[in-house]
Amino acid sequence: MKSDAQLRAEVQAELAWDPAVTAEDVGVIANHGVVTLTGHLRSHAEKLAVERAALRVHGVRALAVETSVKLAAGFERTDADLAEAVGHALEWNVQVPRGAIQPMLEGGWVTLTGEVDCDYQRRAAEATVRNLLGVTGITNLVTIKPLLRSADVERQVQDALVRAFHGQPRQVAVDVNGSQLVLCGKVRSWAELEAVRNAAWSTPGIVSVVNELTVEA
């Protein structure tokens, strides 16, 4: 197991390596595999990039995010202006069904509601809004319509994991209960956990994924 000093140094190096991150704006604290991020960032997109960079480092078992978005002077936008920009951005994204998403703005924070057919459309809506100037945070409340699925949906997920990992990740079990999918077991890193979770969400008809996976020390 890595020491706290080694883990902190590796997370800082990963942040410095990521071109989407201004590393000097981020403080890093490591304590027995739990990494805490602090500081003020210039956009919601950068905040998310910081979190993803930290999770890429092997040995990070949990992440505490104490960062916030603080827009630079001159980059603030009124909620009315931002609402108009969000509406246009969603309308122009071909992966977002027209009229399916309803955005609400308050203090630069965007709340997305609505219903779509697949999880990738829900994620596409959030990704569209994330990079807009003036956005300080996003709450994605978009839901997925339950779809008729084949009886072998569990096998579909297992096959997707085999394709992604050249063999199903060890100690990962998949259980399907109606439109809910439960992942149990252990993975070797946060990157592997994220890949397993994405494979599960890619299954047609899955409305919710319960993630009970743990990252091995």
pLDDT digits (tens, 9 = 90+) for 129-186: 998 989 999 999 999 887 645 456 667 777 777 776 666 556 778 887 777 788 888 8
SS3 label, residue 41: strand
> pLDDT value at position 166?
63
N residues, the chain: 217
pLDDT < 50: residue spans in the chain: 148, 150
What pairs with residue 192 in β-bridges? none
pTM for the whole structure: 0.62
Q: What residue ranges define each of the domains in the chain, with the CATH number in brackets?
A: 4-69 (3.30.1340.30), 79-144 (3.30.1340.30), 153-215 (3.30.1340.30)
Helix then strand then coil, in percent of the chain rounded to 5, is: 35, 30, 35
> pLDDT value at position 188?
79
For the stretch 33-59, what's the b/e string if a residue is b when 16 or more beta carbons lie within 10 angstroms of its beta carbon? eebbbebebebbbbbbbbebbbbbbeb
